[in-house]
Amino acid sequence: MLFAVVAVVIVALGAVVVARLWPASPTAVAPDRPGTVLLVPGFGGDRTSLEPLADRIRQDGRRAEVLTLPGDGTGDLLQQVSVLDDAVDDALSGGSSSVDIVGYSAGGVVARLWVANDHGADKVKRVITLGSPLHGTQLAAAGGALAPGACPTACQQLAPGSPVLAPVAGAAGLPWVSIWTEDDQTVTPPDSARLPGAVNVPLQQVCPGARVSHEQLPTDPRVIGLVVEGLAGDAPTGCPGAGAR
C-alpha cells in the first residue's frame, strides 16, 4: 500500500490578480533575428509534453529547443541547472540575439535556481513558468515522509522549506511571468507558483471557468496563447483561444 501511494506521488510529479505591469523587453530584438526560446521539462524530464508549445513558438520564426535533462530528470536540480546554463551559453555563442526560458513544473524551479545561482539575469531576457512549485509542493513532502528512499533527489528538493528552495523564494530581478491553474493537484497549493515581482497569472483569472489540470498546462491552447503573448512582452487582453476546450 505504501509503495502504491509513493508511486502515485512520483507519477503525479512527473506530469510535474495579473500584475498591473507586464514586463517589457529590456532590449529591442531585430524582427529578422528573433531570439532563442529554451523550454525546460518538469520532473521526469518528459520532452513530448512541451513539443506542441515549442512548435507554436517556431511558427513565429523563433528557434525553440526543448532541453534534455540528465538521467530521467528526477536527480539533483542543481545538476539540471548546469544543463540549462550550458544551453543558454551555446545559444548566445551561436549568434542568438537573445534567450528566453519557458519552464514547466519543476523545470521552472530549475530556471529560478539558474537565475539565482548562475547570474542568469545577466544572460536571459525573460522567464515564463507554467505550474512551477517555486515554493515547493506538499505532494513532494508527502512522498518524502511516506518513503524517503522512494522519493528521488528532485522530489526531496521540491518539498516546501527544502534547503535548495529556501534561498530563491524572493523576486528574481528580471521580467518573469508565472502561469498556473487553480485545478492543479500536483503543485499543492497551486499558488506555490506565485513569485514576488513577477506577473502572476492564475489561468482562471483570465479564462473564467477553465478546467485545466497540471498535466494539461503545456498543451492547453489558452495557456499556449498566454505564453506566446508573454514572449512578445504583451499583457493579456482576454482569454487566448477562449473557444477551445
pLDDT digits (tens, 9 = 90+) for 81-121: 999 999 999 999 999 999 999 999 999 999 999 999 877 88
The pLDDT of residue 166 is above 60:
yes
- Residue 193 — very low, low, confident or very high, per pLDDT cuts 50/70/90? very high
Task: Name the more confident of 113 and 138.
Answer: 113
- Residue 150 — very low, low, confident or very high, per pLDDT cuts 50/70/90? low
- Please report which helix (H) or strand (E) contains residue 157, including its range: helix 153-157
- Residue 22 — very low, low, confident or very high, per pLDDT cuts 50/70/90? very low
- Residue 9 — very low, low, confident or very high, per pLDDT cuts 50/70/90? very low
User: What is the predicted pLDDT for the residue at 143?
Assistant: 67
User: What is the predicted pLDDT for the residue at 180?
Assistant: 98
The model's pTM: 0.85
Report the percentage of the chain scoring pLDDT > 70. 82
Q: Which three cell numbers stand for residue 177?
A: 511571468
SS3 44: coil
User: What is the predicted pLDDT for the residue at 146?
Assistant: 59
User: What is the predicted pLDDT for the residue at 144?
Assistant: 63
Question: What residue type is assigned to position 28 of the chain?
Answer: A
In what order do the strands lie in the sheet containing 176-180? 64-66, 36-40, 99-104, 126-130, 176-180, 199-202
The pLDDT of residue 10 is above 90:
no
How far is it, in rounded angstroms, from Cα 99 to Cα 139?
A: 32
Average pLDDT, stretch 208-213?
Answer: 96
Query: Which among 168, 91, 157 is positioned nearest to 129, based on CA atoms?
Result: 168
- Asked whether 110 and 81 are in contact (CB, 8 A), the reply is yes
How far is it, in rounded angstroms, from Cα 1 to Cα 125?
A: 47
What value does the mean pLDDT of the chain take?
85
- Residue 12 — very low, low, confident or very high, per pLDDT cuts 50/70/90? very low
Question: For 24-47, how does the pLDDT look when each residue is reduced to its tens digit (9 = 90+)?
Answer: 444 433 444 679 999 999 998 889
